[in-house]
Structure 1
Amino acid sequence: MVRFSTLALGALPMLLSVQQAAAVSGTGSTTRYWDCCKPSCAWTGKAAVTSPVKTCDANNNVLTNVDAKSGCDGGVAFMCNNQIPWAVSDTLAYGYGAVRITGQTESDWCCACYELTFTSGPASGKKMILQATNTGGDLGNNHFDIAMPGGGVGIFNGCTAQYGAPSDGWGQRYGGVSSRSECDALPAAIRAGCYWRFDWFGGSDNPTVSFQSVTCPAALTANTGCTRTS
């Protein structure tokens, strides 16, 4: 999926942060991606937050310069390897992604969290709490583009610069790898997020969801360093 790259473990308790965005709910769609680019919500001034989303250098060391240029534009800032999805239980997962919510703007959803209940495919009935770290330029209404390694790089491919990935990323440029065994080709730093897709997620292919905004669990904001203040 197209995103604005320059504007663009174990069970953890659901510890809640203090603030959340205005309550929203509805039904929507999902896709998947992992382009390694600096997320849109990692830039200053995008929303009322404690700090922008953390970014990392090519070796997954957290950068202190929040204005560092994206690795997708020849810079040094990439998505950090701890911003991958993981299972909290058999029926609950945490993760990150690009978001577009009907009637809202980036200032509303950046670093907000949403509880997704999958309503189709192998993951139907399971829930995922997703923190919005990015914005999808080509996403439809109420659309959640889940960040999962091996999910396809789309238009922007920072994974070649960060990890030496093939020019189209791992697998197909749109959609990514098609089997769990293909996850073995990914770097060890992000491989678990690829396995998650075929294990907890059951290999689901862009399932539909119902969603509602929720207060972000501390386990999610600890990785991004980004908590909404309004």
Structure 2
Amino acid sequence: MTVISLLCFLLPFLFPTLVHAQASGSGSTTRYWDCCKASCAWNGKAALASGSNPVTSCDISNDSLSNYNAVSYCASSAGTAYMCGSQTPWAVSSTLSYGFAATNIAGGTEASWCCACYQLTFTSGPVAGKQMIVQATNTGGDLGSNHQFDLAIPGGGFGIFNACTNQYPSTPAASWGAQYTGISSRDQCASLPTTLQAGCYWRFDWFLNADNPSVCFKQVSCPAALTAKSGCVRANDATNESPTGPSVVPTYAPTITNTSPSTSAGVGGTSATSTTTNAGSGGAGTPAAHYGQCGGTGYRGSTAVS
């Protein structure tokens, strides 16, 4: 058993007062993007903060719907509700991202996870040590009984439902990739609808095309940048659910370093040499050393940007 796996296992024993209140432990991830109205977008799924609404759904044109009882296209071909194209992942720093997920936590229900946020520390694959804070906007009824987070990533595969070919009729069905794994290369992102391309590129640039990495997770207060996109804030429960930080957090732009020579003519014909290399979104910075703590060494909270 690795150090990180052992610490994930010990979380409930290290913090016994939180065992029955605040979800934490080890789990796994998958990926999907089916364009369906999210399960947490229906009324009555969880206790919400005063003035809050369920997760926002969109119409076929990606405009927000105010009718939270609108039927999902995945439930009926006459349905008018879809997943909003803005609910995609993005990098906040070289080692932290925000996003959304369908969730299934053993011992819990939609009442306990809908619109809750979880800090994931990846413990395997090329993203080991990186962290992601996700808001649970959907329920993974087909994910099994283990702690699992099905990350919402455009081009990640439809799974058992598909509303994408109806919501985006100009995008050929083949452009979405395989049913359960989605597309297989970064250049295929360019074939997806424009509004979804940035989230697709995230998978290859920051997430390093990791294939279902394992995680250590714990429930945290949601960043306001996530609730601003979902429109959903839970009432206080095990966690103070008041959103933290700014409501707009820009996408992380990696530092550009100079390594590749290029030559241009200077004043008076003198040659001037400069070098430029773009660092990939996942390449700048170093993941938390040894990623021994589930919070991540040096982690400064859900809105920290390095």
Alignment TM-score, normalising by the size of structure 1: 0.89
Q: Tell me whether 1:135 sits opposite 2:139 in the alignment.
A: yes
Q: Which residue of the partner structure matches residue 159 of structure 2?
A: 154
Deviation at 1:24?
1.4
Q: Which letter maps to 1:52?
A: P
Q: Which residue of the partner structure matches residue 28 of structure 1?
A: 27
**RCO higher in 1 or 2 (8 Å CA, sep ≥ 6)?**
1
Superposed, which structure 2 residues align to 1:1-230 within 5 Å? 22-49=21-48, 50-72=52-74, 73-74=76-77, 75-140=79-144, 141-164=146-169, 165-167=171-173, 170-230=176-236
Give the whole-Å Cα distance in 2 for the aligned partners of 1:169 and 1:24: 37
Deviation at 1:225?
0.7
Q: In the comparison of the two structures, how many residue pairs are matched?
A: 210
Asked if 1 retains the 8 angstrom alpha-carbon contact of 2:101 and 2:152, the reply is yes
Indicate the SS of the match to 1:31.
Answer: strand
Asked if 2 retains the 8 angstrom alpha-carbon contact of 1:22 and 1:108, the reply is no
Per-residue CA distance 1:6-25 (angstroms, 9 max, x = gap): xxxxxxxxxxxxxxx94111
Higher helix proportion (structure 1 or 2): 2
- Whichever of the two has the greater Rg, that structure is 2
Give the whole-Å Cα distance in 2 for the aligned partners of 1:139 and 1:22: 22
Deviation at 1:202?
0.4
Alignment TM-score, normalising by the size of structure 2: 0.67
Give the whole-Å Cα distance in 2 for the aligned partners of 1:123 and 1:228: 29
Asked if 1 retains the 8 angstrom alpha-carbon contact of 2:34 and 2:159, the reply is yes
Q: 1:168 to 1:44 in 2, by over 3 A?
A: farther
Give the whole-Å Cα distance in 2 for the aligned partners of 1:138 and 1:158: 17
Indicate the SS of the match to 1:190.
Answer: helix
Q: 1:53 to 1:122 in 2, by over 3 A?
A: same
Give % identity: 62
Deviation at 1:51?
1.1
How large is the Cα RMSD of the aligned pairs?
A: 1.3
